[in-house]
Amino acid sequence: MTRGRIRARLRRSHLYTFGCLKPSTTEEAPHPLNGPGFSRTVYCNQPLLHDKKPVLYCKNDISTTKYNVITFFPKALFEQFRRVANIYFLLAACLSASPISPFSPLSMIAPLAFVVGLSMAKEALEDSRRFLQDVKVNRRKVNRHKGDGFFSPRSWQNIMVGDVVKVNKDQFFPADLLLLSSSYEDGICYVETMNLDGETNLKVKRSSETTMTLDNDEVFKDFTGTIRCEDPNPNLYTFVGNLEYERQIYPLDPSQILLRDSKLRNTDYIYGVAIFTGHDSKVMQNSTKSPSKRSTIEKKMDYIIYTLFTVLILISVISSIGFIFKTKYQAPKWWYLRPDNIEYQYDPNKVGLAGMSHLITALILYGYLIPISLYVSIEVVKVLQATFINQDIQMYDEETGTPADARTSNLNEELGQVDTILSDKTGTLTCNQMDFLKCSIAGTAYGVRSSEVEVAAAKQMASDHEDQDSDLSNFPMPKSKARVSWDDVRKAEEIELETVVTSKGDEDQKHAIKGFGFEDDRLMNCNWLKEPNADDLLMFFRILAVCHTAIPELNEETGVYTYEAESPDEGAFLVAAREFGFAFCRRTQSSIFIHERFSASGQVVEREYKLLNLLDFTSKRKRMSVIVRDEEGSFLLLCKGADSIIFDRLSKNGKNYLEATTRHLNEYGEAGLRTLALAYRKLDEQEYTAWNNEFQKAKAAVGADRDSMLERVSDMMEKELILVGATAVEDKLQKGVPQCIDNLAQAGLKIWVLTGDKMETAINIGFACSLLRQGMKQICITTPVTDSVATDVKQAIKDNILNQITNGSQMIKLEKDPHAAFALIIDGKTLTYALEDDMKLLFLGLAVDCASVICCRVSPKQKALVTRLVKQGSGKTTLAIGDGANDVGMIQEADIGVGISGVEGSDG
């Protein structure tokens, strides 16, 4: 694919957040840089100026090791002599060098040297792996401007502040760079930040308009400039600085900064200048030193050593007292000892000195009460265990070629003491690979295939069908689950078989389409035109095809478009739109082109939608919108987002399908599906023009309140919407998850799942993965809905939650069946109250009495707080499992952290 075609297809400098019709940067006043924290000066394309003070910056090589050649011996020796036993053996070895020792010094020093040497060798081996990884990173190559417009490969470790580098497609950025230009004429590039924040979606970075013309090697021959910016800091999402170029000053912002360890995607190349290198880069500022963790057994062994040492001293003192009495009163009578020529340690006239010398002898003689071989055995076993873990074929992922990696062997024995497992759901229990499965359009539900969760949950409940009438009146299960019949199970099994058993000659291609598991002949092959609400169906498909931030790619072999989307959900929407006959095919700076098919014969019409504004999706907004003008000249706002957000913004005449859609959304949630609502609004040209003027003023503002102004102006437009329908995508369970959780539960481990999904989805995922079982009584704790405007509303809510917790605890205590199992289900809003100081211990007491705990709608911070509460409150060993940046806090808080190399990234 030629560079010109790529540019023509993907040129869209004003696509991302609040980005369309971006005002010129020259209109904005540069940010005033003064005071501490804003002292960095970078001379672009003049790296040698940074070799001397006051701008002597660190080099670009990094080190993540615990030791280096100089510090290894002192640090490693300190680590070894943190152990009480090693201090004792060192003292014993020193005493053995005295002339009164009953053993030769070698017999005491050799075992100590062996134990300490073995442990230090293990530390060196584990640290050498980090060193080799550092060397591999430091020796990566990148093209650096050598001079006279000539670029040549150079190792990352030799990159200096001020160097101009050229990074090619699918390469990592060697340092924190200021984006100067890219292969696209409008100076944009696409960046994958999975190594930084765990997100798989691509971010768009945009160069300054003044430097985007620097798009070939030769123009850098005479390029110079000066950057004055903030000092190194760990904040990934902020940057303040100015660029002085061609006698003018231009402000810089985070959208122009490319962070180290990000990867360039869907862009042939970029030019950038290094601002922060090595340990000054933001990713390294966020890194922590390798901690020295000690296991519970090792700590307990110290207490055992204290006890044994006390017993040793007691025995030696008693022995020495006996020796003093013998020496003073009986030794003079023993003529064969030659009292006239006796040594000082047996001299009856110097019993104090004799007693001290005997005490030292006794301490050495009885010293084997403390076994030095115990430490040798433990160290050898730990190293072998770590080796077995790394070579375990059951923990090898064939798809990615990734084996297990025990980063340290110090905590191996902790794995056998785990009492509570805290796990993320998306990407850990599920695959984070979305399939468009069902949808609700104009109040009608479409899609006949059952989700994996429905099939698995039906099987799980049917396996114990005879117990369905057990008394669950106090903790009722979801109604849809209570009515599962044998017909449902048989139907689910038939559907499952249909998706697996297909003939080779007539294989159903729909099942093989990644991201699309939809089945319903009413919508396929243009049959939707025969439906009674065809206009609403058309609008639904157009919202799917137009309202997004994806990048299309044409597979020239198959002629099918594929998409690089911000999230797996958005990719599934575009694949669904393509299969329904509305294929997103091309995007320019200001337009989106859709191939629309209105007949089964395959006749395609290309329609252009002028992209006027895009209001991007954020976790705070929970929605995204595009404002477009179609070929008829109509102005449309197309919106998709969380149902609760969209429903609050509907107009009076836009709620025709609200009741039916809400019912369908609840059903989809119970089926374990992720849902979004779709809506639109027709705009008057005058209304849009007036709003756009306000929007442009907010964008041109400089200051901390710019984002809040943009949010306010966006809310003015995202109202009076008309509901069209909702989508439901499936996140499939990881292979073997139900069997694994079932085995862990049988072993007596308590399992907590911390997820951002809504309660209905989490409950049904729980049934599908055996976390919830038939006959298990559910205790659901939720925040009561109150319309009260009293000042003590918060206290009333807390009292209600406290009452629910107390009732749940009382129910468990009064349960007469010793084999009864309980499951606690709580949402994030309720958890906010339950984690407060006056309630958290009561909540923990209830939770630890339950076999399973599901926390829904939780934030990353709540995940960490819950983990800390379990670890500190129960005093038992906790293990956290996650695969994304939102799980890092949870993994760090737990006694043992397991990072999974998943779609969202990897934590360790």
Residue 53 marked in a binding site: no
| End-to-end C-alpha distance for the chain, whole angstroms | 38
424 is catalytic: yes
Binned at pLDDT 50, 70 and 90, residue 681 comes out as: very high
Q: What pLDDT was estimated at residue 719?
A: 86
Residue 343 marked in a binding site: no
Whether 15 is covered by a domain: the verdict is no
Q: What are the angstrom distances between the C-alpha of 672 and each of 422, 482, 782? A: 20, 16, 20
Residue from 777, 771, 736, 730 nearest 753 by CA:
771
Whether 27 is covered by a domain: the verdict is no
The DSSP output letter for 171 is P
Place of tokens 């700590």: 299
Instruction: Please state the rounded mean pLDDT for residues 621-642.
Output: 89
**For residue 673, is pLDDT > 70?**
yes
Q: What pLDDT was estimated at residue 153?
A: 93
CB 108 within 8 A of CB 92: yes
Q: Give the active site residue among 61, 186, 424, 616.
A: 424
CB 181 within 8 A of CB 270: yes
Query: Residue 860, preceding bond cis, omega within 30 degrees?
Result: no
Bridge partners for 402 per DSSP: 397
Rounded Cα–Cα distance for residues 418 and 877 (Å): 5
Rounded Cα–Cα distance for residues 116 and 121 (Å): 8
46 and 112 share one domain: no
Residue 284 sits at φ, ψ, to 5 deg, of: -75, -30
**Nearest-10 crossing angle of helices 84-96, 351-365:** 130
Whether 23 is covered by a domain: the verdict is no
798 and 720 share one domain: no
Bridge partners for 562 per DSSP: 553
47 and 163 share one domain: yes
For the chain, what is the domain count? 5
Four-CA torsion 612, 618, 620, 624, nearest 10 degrees: 40
207 and 329 share one domain: no
Rounded to the nearest integer, the mean pLDDT of the chain is 78
Least confident of 14-23, 675-684, 775-784: 14-23
CB 438 within 8 A of CB 516: no
Rounded Cα–Cα distance for residues 587 and 608 (Å): 9
pLDDT digits (tens, 9 = 90+) for 24-81: 333 344 445 555 667 888 889 888 887 777 677 888 988 888 888 888 888 888 888 8
Give the Cα-Cα-Cα angle 383, 389, 391 (nearest 5 degrees). Answer: 105
Q: Which amino acid is at 234?
A: P
Whether 343 is covered by a domain: the verdict is yes
Instruction: Please state the rounded mean pLDDT for residues 612-640.
Output: 85
Instruction: Please state the rounded mean pLDDT for residues 811-816.
Output: 86
Q: What are the angstrom distances between the C-alpha of 71 and each of 65, 125, 301, 812? A: 11, 15, 27, 56
More confident residue, 492 or 75: 75
Rounded Cα–Cα distance for residues 887 and 756 (Å): 11
More confident residue, 289 or 209: 209
855 and 819 share one domain: yes
SS in 3 state form for 277-300?
CHHHCHHHHCCCCCCCCCCHHHHH
We report the CATH number of the domain holding residue 238 as 2.70.150.10
Q: What pLDDT was estimated at residue 3?
A: 42
Rounded Cα–Cα distance for residues 868 and 858 (Å): 15
Rounded Cα–Cα distance for residues 874 and 157 (Å): 47
Residue 757 marked in a binding site: yes
Q: Find the domain containing 321 and state its range.
A: 69-135+292-373
* Joined tokens for residue 339: 């009292």
**For residue 166, is pLDDT > 80?**
yes
Residue 782 marked in a binding site: no
Per residue in 409-424, is it b (16+ CB within 10 Å) or e — as a string? bbbbbbeeebbbbbbb
Of 236, 270, 286, the one marking the end of a domain is 286
Residue 883 marked in a binding site: yes
Helix H or strand E encompassing 655: none
The whole model's pTM is what? 0.62
Q: What pLDDT was estimated at residue 300?
A: 80
Give the Cα-Cα-Cα angle 658, 662, 667 (nearest 5 degrees). Answer: 150
Of 693, 713, 729, the one marking the end of a domain is 729
Rg of the chain over Cα atoms, rounded to whole angstroms, equals 34
Whether 179 is covered by a domain: the verdict is yes
Whether 32 is covered by a domain: the verdict is no
266 and 396 share one domain: no
Whether 2 is covered by a domain: the verdict is no
* Joined tokens for residue 577: 């739109």
**For residue 708, is pLDDT > 60?**
yes
**For residue 187, is pLDDT > 90?**
no
Residue 425 marked in a binding site: yes
Residue 447 zone, left/alpha/beta (φ > 0; ψ -120 to 50; rest): left
Percent of the chain with pLDDT over 70: 80
Helix ranges restricted to H, 411-451: none
Residue 674 marked in a binding site: yes
559 and 703 share one domain: yes
Residue 338 marked in a binding site: no
SS in 3 state form for 522-558?
CCHHHHHHHCCCHHHHHHHHHHHHHCCCCEEEEECCC
Least confident of 202-211, 335-344, 827-836, 854-863: 335-344
Whether 148 is covered by a domain: the verdict is no
Q: Which amino acid is at 653?
A: N
743 and 678 share one domain: no
**For residue 366, is pLDDT > 60?**
yes
Instruction: Please state the rounded mean pLDDT for residues 159-174.
Output: 92
We report the CATH number of the domain holding residue 765 as 3.40.50.1000
498 Cβ contact list (under 8 Å, min separation 6)? none
Rounded Cα–Cα distance for residues 876 and 153 (Å): 53
Instruction: Please state the rounded mean pLDDT for residues 817-841.
Output: 87
Instruction: Please state the rounded mean pLDDT for residues 347-371.
Output: 78
Long-range contacts of 502-510 (CB under 8 A, 24+ apart): 510/579
* Joined tokens for residue 406: 């025990």
Rounded Cα–Cα distance for residues 43 and 52 (Å): 13
891 and 746 share one domain: yes
Binned at pLDDT 50, 70 and 90, residue 433 comes out as: confident
**For residue 416, is pLDDT > 70?**
yes
Is the sign of the CA dihedral 176, 178, 183, 189 positive or negative?
positive
Q: What pLDDT was estimated at residue 486?
A: 40
Instruction: Give burial (CB, 10 Å; 0-12/13-18/19+) of 613.
Output: buried
Residue 618 marked in a binding site: no
Of 729, 745, 771, the one marking the end of a domain is 729
172 and 266 share one domain: yes
pLDDT digits (tens, 9 = 90+) for 848-907: 888 889 998 787 778 888 998 998 888 888 898 887 656 777 887 888 888 776 554 444
* SS3 assignment, position 500: helix
More confident residue, 349 or 720: 720
Winning range, highest mean pLDDT, from 498-507, 751-760, 780-789, 885-894: 751-760
Winning range, highest mean pLDDT, from 89-93, 689-693, 858-862: 689-693
Binned at pLDDT 50, 70 and 90, residue 287 comes out as: low
753 and 820 share one domain: yes
887 and 845 share one domain: yes
Give the Cα-Cα-Cα angle 631, 635, 639 (nearest 5 degrees). Answer: 110
